[in-house]
Chains A and B, each alone.
Chain A
Amino acid sequence: MLYLDIPLLSLLIWTPLIGGVLLLFIDQKNDQLIKISGFTISTVTLFISIVLLINFDTSQYLLQFNEKHIWIYNLDINYHLAVDGFSLLFILLTTTVTSLIILFNFSESRQQNNKYIALFLILEGLLLGVFCAFDSILFYIFFEAMLIPLFLIIGIWGGPNRVYATIKFFIYTLLGSVLMLVALLYLSFKANSFYILDYYNLVLSLDTQILIFLAFLIAFGIKVPMWPVHTWLPDAHVEAPSSGSVILAAVLLKVGGYGMIRFLLPITPDAGFYLNNFLIPLSLVAIIYISFVAIAQQDMKKLIAYSSIAHMGFVTLGIFLVFNTIGQAQDIQNISHIGLQGAIMQMLSHGLISAGLFICIGIIYSRTKSRMIDDQSGIGQVMPVFSALMMFFLLANSGLPGTSGFVGEFMVLIAAIKNNIMYAVLASTTLVLAASYSLWLGKRVLFGEVNNDNVASMKILRFDEFWPLLILAILVILIGIKPDLLLNISEESSMNMIKIITNKY
Chain B
Amino acid sequence: MINYLYIFPEIIITSALCFIIVLDLFLPNKLKYISYYLIQLSLIFCAYYIYSHISYLTNNNSELYDTSIFSNIFKIFILLSLAMIFYYTSVFLKYFNIFRTEYFLITLFGLLGMMIMISSQNMLLLYLGIELLSLSLYSVIAFNKNSLFSSEAAVKYYILGAISSGFLLFGISLIYGLTGSLNFNEIFIHIASFNITNGIDNVQVIGLLFALIFILISLSFKFGAAPFHMWIPDVYHGSIITTTLLLSTIPKIAVFVILIKLLTNVFSGLFLFWADMVIILSILSILIGNIVAISQTNIKRMLAYSTIANIGFILLGLSVGSIIGYKAAMFYTLTYVVTTIAAFGLLSQLICRNKPIENISDLSGLNSTSPFTAFLLMFILLSYIGIPPFIGFHAKLFIIQSLVETNNIPLGIFAVLMTVVGSYYYLRVIKVIYFDEAKNVLASTSKLYITGIYVLGLILLGLLPDVLGQLSQYSISNFFNT
Binding site for B on A (CB under 8 A): 71-75, 112, 115, 137, 140-141, 144-145, 147-148, 152, 155-156, 162-163, 166-167, 170-171, 174-175, 178-179, 181-182, 185-186, 189
Contact = CB atoms under 8 A, between A and B. Distances in A.
Contacts of A174: 385, 387, 419-420, 423
A296 B412 CA distance: 43
B11 interface: no
Given A71-B466, A185-B401, 11 more contacts: A74-B470, A75-B401, A144-B387, A144-B388, A148-B387, A155-B431, A174-B423, A175-B417, A179-B416, A181-B400, A182-B404
B466 A181 contact: no
Contact of A155 (B327, B434, B473): B434
Contacts of A115: 371
Contacts of B367: 156
Contact of A145 (B388, B397, B401): B388
A147 B416 contact: no
B393 A178 contact: no
Given A156-B435, A170-B427, A181-B397, A175 B409 contact: no
Contacts of A137: 397
Nearest to A155: B435
Interface of B: 327, 367, 371, 382, 385, 387-389, 393-394, 397-398, 400-401, 404-405, 409, 412-413, 416-417, 419-420, 423-424, 427-428, 431, 434-435, 465-466, 469-470, 473
Contacts of B404: 182, 185-186, 189
Nearest to A167: B427
A15 B385 CA distance: 27
A163 B431 contact: yes
Contacts of B385: 174
Given A147-B387, A155-B431, A167-B431, A74 B469 contact: yes
Question: What 7 A-B pairs are tightest by C-beta distance, nearest first?
Answer: A178-B416, A141-B388, A185-B404, A74-B469, A155-B435, A175-B420, A185-B401
A181 B400 CA distance: 9
A144 B423 CA distance: 13
A143 to B, nearest CB: 9
A156 B431 CA distance: 9
B389 A171 contact: no
A186 B427 contact: no
A182 B469 contact: no
Contacts of B371: 112, 115
A182 B466 contact: no
A164 to B, nearest CB: 10
A79 to B, nearest CB: 10
A182 B431 contact: no
A72 B398 CA distance: 11
13 contacts: A141-B393, A144-B388, A147-B387, A148-B387, A163-B435, A166-B435, A167-B431, A174-B385, A174-B420, A175-B417, A181-B416, A185-B397, A185-B412
Contacts of A189: 401, 404-405
B97 to A, nearest CB: 36
A218 to B, nearest CB: 11
A182 B420 contact: no
A186 B405 CA distance: 7
Contacts of A73: 466, 469-470
A72 B416 CA distance: 21
A141 B416 CA distance: 15
Nearest to B327: A74
Given A147-B387, A155-B434, A156-B435, A182 B409 contact: yes
A166 B436 CA distance: 13
Given A73-B466, A181-B400, A156 B434 contact: yes
A417 to B, nearest CB: 40
A487 to B, nearest CB: 34
Contact of B473 (A74, A145, A178): A74
A182 B423 contact: no
A150 to B, nearest CB: 12
Contacts of A112: 371
Contact of A74 (B412, B431, B466): B466
Nearest to A114: B371
A137 B397 CA distance: 9
Contacts of B397: 137, 181, 185
B440 to A, nearest CB: 19
A145 B424 contact: no
